[in-house]
């Protein structure tokens, strides 16, 4: 059994939540794959550097300057601090982007109407290197960047990378995919923390979007979760405090 854990930008940005989830990662007692976001850190760095940001449907348009910003924020600041903090908890781990060991290869998104810039859609995951590292007791911390094999890094959604890695590794690996964030599951009412939806199935999704229970960044998250669940992966959307438990929302 291998956990593929995705932590979002709000978790990365909160020392309290980040420490909590890293403690729980360490307590798993087995090598894992941790994919992190970091949009808030990137947004602040872009502002500090005077690099203007454009968002379309909750996705960042990534021009050359913004690619520099997210590479510094995701692969540098966040990834290496998470690695150092896991090492301090006795977790042997290595931080990677999709370019490292050719972990996730992608192509620049070809959108009919919007030029997203240096944004990558996933083509292939190098599961051999993941198996090599995990078999040698080394956990992997993944920053949400891919590469095109021609020398360019590409900005890629962290939920999509986590789901893509989980699906690529699935065969016989008993993957547990966890989307960890600041809420206790998918909520019927965003203002009521007790309104967790216990189970979401693919057929529920359109209705939840129509009712406004799933909106903004939750739409691609749920879509990635459902896609992974369809191939039989155990998928849960949980609060940091629930990692390792069966709490939160089961997606199937």
Residue 88 binds a copy of itself, judged by CB under 8 A: yes
Torsion of the alpha carbons at 170, 13, 221 and 233, rounded to the nearest 10: 20
With beta carbons less than 8 A apart as the criterion, state whether 63 and 118 touch: yes
Residue 156 binds a copy of itself, judged by CB under 8 A: no
- What spatial distance separates the first Cα and last Cα of the chain, rounded to whole Å? 18
Helices (H), the chain: 9-13, 15-27, 39-49, 64-70, 79-88, 127-135, 158-169, 205-210, 218-230
Query: In whole angstroms, what is the distance from residue 140 CA to residue 63 CA?
Result: 28
Binding mask 194-213 for a copy of itself (x = CB under 8 A): --------------------
Nearer to a copy of itself, 120 or 164 (CB): 120
Token pair for 244: 């390792």
Nearer to a copy of itself, 53 or 223 (CB): 53
Whole-number minimum distance, CB 167 to a copy of itself, in Å?
A: 22
Residue 152 binds a copy of itself, judged by CB under 8 A: yes
Residue 251 binds a copy of itself, judged by CB under 8 A: no
Query: In whole angstroms, what is the distance from residue 59 CA to residue 156 CA?
Result: 10
For 35, residues 6+ apart whose C-beta sits below 8 A from its C-beta are 4, 5, 6, 7, 142, 144, 158, 161, 162, 165
Residue 49 binds a copy of itself, judged by CB under 8 A: yes
Whole-number minimum distance, CB 64 to a copy of itself, in Å?
A: 12
Q: Applying CB under 8 A, which part among 89-97, 115-123, 193-201, 237-245 lies near a copy of itself?
A: 89-97
For 192, residues 6+ apart whose C-beta sits below 8 A from its C-beta are none
> Using CB under 8 A, which of 124, 138, 202, 219 touches a copy of itself?
138
> Using CB under 8 A, which of 11, 18, 122, 145 touches a copy of itself?
145
Residue 102 binds a copy of itself, judged by CB under 8 A: yes
> Using CB under 8 A, which of 96, 130, 165, 196 touches a copy of itself?
96
Residue 75 binds a copy of itself, judged by CB under 8 A: yes
Token pair for 135: 């078999």
Residue 26 binds a copy of itself, judged by CB under 8 A: no
Q: What residues make contact with a copy of itself under the rule CB under 8 A?
A: 45, 48-49, 68, 71-77, 79-81, 83-85, 87-88, 92-97, 99-102, 129, 132, 136, 138, 145, 147, 149-153
């Amino acid at each position: 059994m291998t956990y593929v854990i995705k932590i979002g930008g709000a978790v990365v940005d909160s020392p309290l939540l980040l420490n909590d989830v890293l403690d729980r990662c360490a307590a798993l007692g087995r090598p894992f794959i941790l994919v992190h976001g970091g949009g808030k850190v990137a947004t602040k760095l872009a502002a500090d550097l005077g690099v203007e940001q454009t968002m379309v449907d909750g996705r960042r348009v990534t021009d050359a300057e913004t690619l520099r910003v997210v590479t510094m924020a995701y692969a540098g600041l966040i990834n290496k601090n998470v690695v150092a903090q896991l090492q301090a908890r006795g977790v042997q781990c290595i931080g990677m982007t999709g370019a490292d060991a050719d972990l996730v290869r992608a192509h620049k998104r070809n959108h009919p109407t919007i030029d997203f810039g240096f944004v990558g859609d996933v083509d292939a995951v190098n599961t051999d290197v993941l198996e090599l590292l995990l078999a040698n007791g080394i956990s992997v911390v993944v920053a949400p960047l891919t590469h095109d094999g021609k020398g360019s890094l590409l900005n890629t959604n962290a939920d999509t990378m986590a789901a893509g890695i989980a699906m690529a590794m699935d065969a016989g690996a008993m993957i547990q995919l966890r989307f960890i964030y600041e809420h206790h599951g998918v909520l019927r009412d965003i203002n009521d923390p007790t309104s967790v939806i216990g189970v979401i199935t693919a057929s529920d999704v359109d209705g939840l979007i129509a009712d406004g229970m799933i909106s903004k960044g939750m739409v691609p998250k749920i879509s990635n979760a459902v896609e992974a669940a369809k191939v039989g992966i155990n998928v849960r959307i949980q609060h940091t405090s629930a990692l390792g438990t069966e709490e939160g929302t089961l997606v199937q």
